[in-house]
């Protein structure tokens, strides 16, 4: 009895102690990597040191395993002294109290070690999450197997992680629930500082579609919008504000009004079935939709509706000579971007370096798609959009506007 209770107490102590240690490391990490102190700016993300013009901010690894040596850390950080020498004035003089110094010291202890790595990075594995259509997952898996067969990347095998709760370094695909610092590479760009896409995301595509409808509408006119139930409320709000700014009213399409509430055009946001429903209800006026959402339904609409159809499509999809289905080309393109950016990031991998590496890709060739170009303010590799009509007899699209590049991220 007694020993059982003693054991329990010991466990509680240990786990409380562990959680406390984690918290102090996390506070130290925050102080080192960001915030007002931002030591990483000069001493490097991993404490590897960095040149600041003529002066070198030294590597800080010597502080690892020095938990007890708070004094020399305090002297350097608060008083600018190292072994009795006054440090160059490039090294700021801080006002860290004892608690903050202890946090910093606890973090310097793990700085640059494996315990300091971003999620999903192992010594010989790299976890990559997937949020792509199930139909393309085998192709992605085969792509990973090819990389792994030649030793992976810097000795790490790529592991496709399908469990959405697992720790991953980056994601192929995108979801609104992703933490914003998880890098993602998706067919259509998501939103967030670490989100990349080969093509514009669905909201950007919808904006382009609206702009085309607005350009064709006389000022003061009304447009009608029919958004499927799964449309993001944000997207609808964005479109409404954009229409208002151009002096045009965007009203919901009421089911009972065959002519779309007197609207001069109707916009459909939703899959093929949704578009078919809209086409059935609305007579006489043009119907705008997104080619990628509507899929092959556009080729089987009644001829009268098909003639009035205006589809917004990513220009990249009209790229000729593609043998594989488009979803597969996009998924493999995402894999190619992932692999290239990992190679450029080096063995000492972190998310910040990885995101930066994608932003450096210019004219990056992807099988069956036009070259991808990224940049710090450009997270869509092939940003162009254009409008197409359908040719039901040939089951193909007919372009009727030039490619527009205005529609960035
Ligand atoms: C603006 C750039 C800059 C920032 C920010 C900065 N340092 Fe420094 N640090 C330096 C430079 C440069 C030196 C070397 C000065 C010298 O050798 O005279 C230095 C020296 C040091 C030293 C002495 C190293 C040794 O081996 O004696 C320590 C410790 C240190 N910095 C820790 C930190 C910590 C911790 C932070 C954040 C709280 C920080 N520094 C933020 C530039 C910076």
Q: What is the model's pLDDT at position 406?
A: 53
> In testing the pocket of ligand 1, which one of 31, 33, 43 has its CB within 8 Å of the most ligand atoms?
43
pTM for the model: 0.75
Q: Rounded distance, CA 250 to CA 311, Å? A: 18
Torsion of CA 142, 146, 147, 152, to 10 degrees: 100
Q: What is the mean pLDDT of the chain?
A: 87
- Which pLDDT band holds residue 181 (cuts at 50, 70, 90)? confident
Residue 89, CB-side half-sphere exposure with 13 Å CA sphere: 0
Of the two residues 338 and 178, the one the predictor is more confident about is 338
Q: How many residues does this entry show for the chain? A: 409
Kindly state the average pLDDT of the residues 108-120.
84
Q: Which two tokens stand for residue 52?
A: 């600041």
Kindly state the average pLDDT of the residues 23-40.
85
3-state class (DSSP) for residue 18: helix
Write out the CATH class of domain 125-199+324-367. Answer: alpha beta
Kindly state the average pLDDT of the residues 197-205.
94
Q: What is the model's pLDDT at position 115?
A: 76
Tens digit of each residue's pLDDT (9 = 90 or more) over 255-277: 545 455 688 999 999 999 999 99
Q: What is the model's pLDDT at position 1?
A: 37
* Contact 43 CB / ligand 1 (< 6 Å): yes
pLDDT at 394 over 90: no
Share of the chain above pLDDT 90, in %: 58
Q: Rounded distance, CA 114 to CA 144, Å? A: 24
With b for 16 or more beta-carbon neighbours within 10 A and e for fewer, the 207-226 pattern comes to bbbbbbbbeebeeebbbbbb
Measured distance between the N- and C-terminal CA atoms of the chain, rounded to whole angstroms: 65
pLDDT at 7 over 60: no
**Every domain range in the chain assigned CATH 1.10.760.10:** 21-116
pLDDT at 389 over 80: yes
**Every domain range in the chain assigned CATH 3.40.50.2300:** 125-199+324-367, 202-319+384-399
Q: Position of tokens 């894999």?
A: 335
Q: What is the model's pLDDT at position 309?
A: 96
Which residues have a Cβ under 8 Å from the Cβ of 308 and sit 6 or more positions away?
284, 285, 286, 287
CATH architecture group of domain 202-319+384-399: 3-Layer(aba) Sandwich (3.40)
> In testing the pocket of ligand 1, which one of 27, 29, 42 has its CB within 8 Å of the most ligand atoms?
42
Tens digit of each residue's pLDDT (9 = 90 or more) over 81-93: 998 899 999 999 9
Kindly state the average pLDDT of the residues 124-129.
96
- Which pLDDT band holds residue 4 (cuts at 50, 70, 90)? very low
Distance 356 CA to ligand 1 centre (A): 25
Atom of ligand 1 nearest to the CA of 63: 29
Q: What is the model's pLDDT at position 116?
A: 82
Q: What is the model's pLDDT at position 61?
A: 79
Share of the chain above pLDDT 70, in %: 90
Q: Is 75 exposed, middle or buried (0-12, 13-18, 19+ CB in 10 A)?
A: middle
Q: What is the model's pLDDT at position 19?
A: 66
Kindly state the average pLDDT of the residues 341-366.
95
Considering Cα of 153, then 156, then 159, then 163, what sign does the dihedral take?
Answer: negative
Q: What is the model's pLDDT at position 67?
A: 57
Q: Does domain 21-116 bear CATH number 1.10.760.10?
A: yes
pLDDT at 321 over 70: no
DSSP state of 61: G
Atom of ligand 1 nearest to the CA of 108: 35
* Contact 57 CB / ligand 1 (< 6 Å): yes
Q: What is the model's pLDDT at position 257?
A: 53
């Amino acid at each position: 009895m007694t020993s059982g209770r003693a054991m329990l107490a010991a466990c509680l102590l240990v786990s409380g102690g562990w959680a406390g240690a984690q918290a102090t490391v996390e506070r130290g990490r925050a102080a080192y990597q960001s915030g007002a102190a931002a030591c990483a700016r000069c001493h490097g993300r991993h404490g590897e040191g960095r040149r600041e013009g003529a002066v070198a901010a030294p590597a800080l690894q010597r502080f690892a395993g020095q938990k007890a040596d708070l004094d020399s850390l305090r002297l350097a950080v608060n008083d600018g002294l190292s072994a009795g020498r006054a440090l160059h004035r490039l090294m700021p003089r801080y006002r860290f109290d004892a608690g903050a110094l202890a946090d910093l010291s606890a973090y310097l202890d793990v700085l640059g070690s494996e315990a300091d790595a971003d999620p999903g990075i192992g010594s010989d594995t790299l976890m990559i999450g997937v949020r792509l259509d199930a139909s393309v997952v085998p192709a992605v898996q085969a792509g990973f197997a090819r990389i792994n067969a030649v030793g992976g990347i810097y000795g790490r095998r790529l592991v496709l992680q399908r469990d959405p709760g697992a720790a991953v370094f980056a994601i192929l695909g995108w979801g609104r629930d992703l933490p914003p610092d998880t890098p993602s590479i998706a067919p259509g760009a998501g939103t967030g500082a670490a989100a990349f896409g080969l093509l514009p995301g669905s909201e950007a595509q919808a904006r382009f579609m609206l702009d085309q409808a607005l350009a064709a509408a006389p000022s003061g006119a009304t447009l009608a919008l029919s958004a499927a139930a799964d449309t993001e409320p944000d997207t609808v709000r964005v479109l409404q504000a954009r229409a208002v700014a151009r002096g045009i009213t965007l009203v919901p399409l009421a089911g009972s009004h065959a002519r779309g509430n007197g609207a001069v055009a109707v916009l459909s946001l939703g899959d093929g079935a949704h578009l078919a429903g809209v086409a059935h209800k609305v007579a006489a006026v043009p119907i705008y939709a997104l080619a990628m959402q509507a899929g092959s339904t556009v080729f089987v609409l009644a001829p009268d509706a098909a003639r009035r159809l205006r589809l917004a499509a990513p220009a990249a999809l009209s790229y000729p000579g593609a043998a594989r289905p488009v979803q597969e080309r996009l998924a493999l393109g995402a894999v190619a971007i992932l692999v290239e950016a990992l190679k450029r990031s080096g063995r000492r991998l972190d998310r910040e370096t990885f995101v930066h590496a994608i932003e450096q890709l210019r004219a990056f060739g992807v099988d069956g798609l036009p070259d991808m170009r990224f940049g710090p303010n450009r997270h869509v590799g092939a940003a162009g959009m254009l409008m197409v009509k359908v040719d039901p007899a040939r089951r193909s699209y007919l372009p009727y506007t030039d490619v527009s590049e205005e529609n960035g991220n």
